[in-house]
Structure 1
Amino acid sequence: MDLYGESVSLLTEQDVQYMSRTSYHQMCRWNSGLFSQHPALAEYDYYWRVEPNVHFFCDIDYDVFRWMQDHNKTYGFNINLFDSPSSVATLWPETMKFVRDHKDYLHKNNARAWLEDGAKRPENYKEANGYSTCHFWSNFEIGNLNFWRSKKYRDYFDHLDRAGGFFYERWGDAPVHSIALGLFEDRDKIHWFRDIGYQHIPFFNCPNNPKCAGCISGRFTDGEKWLNREDCRPLWFKYVGMD
């Protein structure tokens, strides 16, 4: 707890958001590695994370879980962002320690280049010690629980949990999920739900689709203009493309 207190003080001075909220650290750890193990989900293969105060703008006239199953997809995202590098400064080095001991866990068709791009936001790349900080914004995610239950992911989460960064830094479930998917899963099994209009303040995914209303097509944020540079989807399209 002494180390935790010192870490909170240090990173709060660096304006790392929510660093002083113990409950936020606990939430990030829970969503990273524990929710998929909950007995209430034991019967299920797929989940859709839906948070309070979010907005959906399009009619969804198909079964997203059936679609994921029929198309052999592991994970579906909506918004893709750069993270605060101060919150994940040692996450990538710890991940590389794990990878060195588990090289067989790396998927041959991975998205590692997306995770290691240093050109788009070099300041993030430097501060995060080799990690682009790109991540799927996990307040919207549709996924196959069996990936989070797999031995490779359980081993990875346990390694991170022992390292302590969920508390000594502010490792979020979004970068943890994204790194695991980007390294250990076939990138072709990760799907952008471009047809689902969505907002979690202050960011949007606004499709050009007649089934959508109340959202300006192509809008990414209704906040300050500088927030537009937080969009990491162009990097995803550069390295992975779209199905």
Structure 2
Amino acid sequence: MTKNSEIRLLGTVASPYVNRVQFVCNLKSIDYEFVAENLACKSELLLTSNPIHKKVPVLLHANESPTCESLVIIQYLEEIKPDVHPIFPSAPAERANNRFWAHYIDNQFFPLYEKLRITQGKERKEAIKQEIIEGSIVLEEAFVKTSKGKAYFGGDDVGFLDVVLGCFLSWTYFVEKENKFKIFDEVRTPRLVEWTKRIWSHEAIKSVIPTNEIISEFYMMLQKYRPLGA
């Protein structure tokens, strides 16, 4: 991350949505200045840059208008630097398929983590755990089809869906530990278990994945502030 860069990223280190933008910046060797936000006391810069949702991440690029929402930012980064580690498939049908699964991950799968956090009662929590497990099996099937037998969703190297799902790994491990169950399991989701090991050790993400301690602190803050950003 370069200070005084023409690109600034407003975010918080514990947000998976911010992490995915950092992941893509690293993949594409894009220098940026990280501007840390306190979501309990948002800066005027954040509020004016994202007046609709007032959430992170927000990308500020030179004199351009602010770009908000992580998936929109990723597509923007792909367009301004398309020749360095392209993350989208070249075929239109495959790009559409990637966007479908990104929507599933962001709007159906990961929200179950938050649902589990705020739900009271053992039986109801167990029901949500089962929903998460069923979702992980769906993602295992998606990985098998999308990767076509290769190491990543993107094939031989990290692609769009690897970024979208990979940014949630720290939170996945945290949720597993807090709730004493496995989300990605060697029996149910063997391909994704191997995939998580590859993503976890990838040079482009190692420096931006939050530690368990950072997530734990953020988790405590979520008792008062719920949205993670998008």
Question: TM class by shorter-chain length?
Answer: under 0.3
Normalising by structure 1, what TM-score? 0.25
Normalising by structure 2, what TM-score? 0.26
Q: Relative contact order (C-alpha < 8 Å, sep 6+): which is higher?
A: 1
- Higher helix fraction: Structure 1 or Structure 2? 2
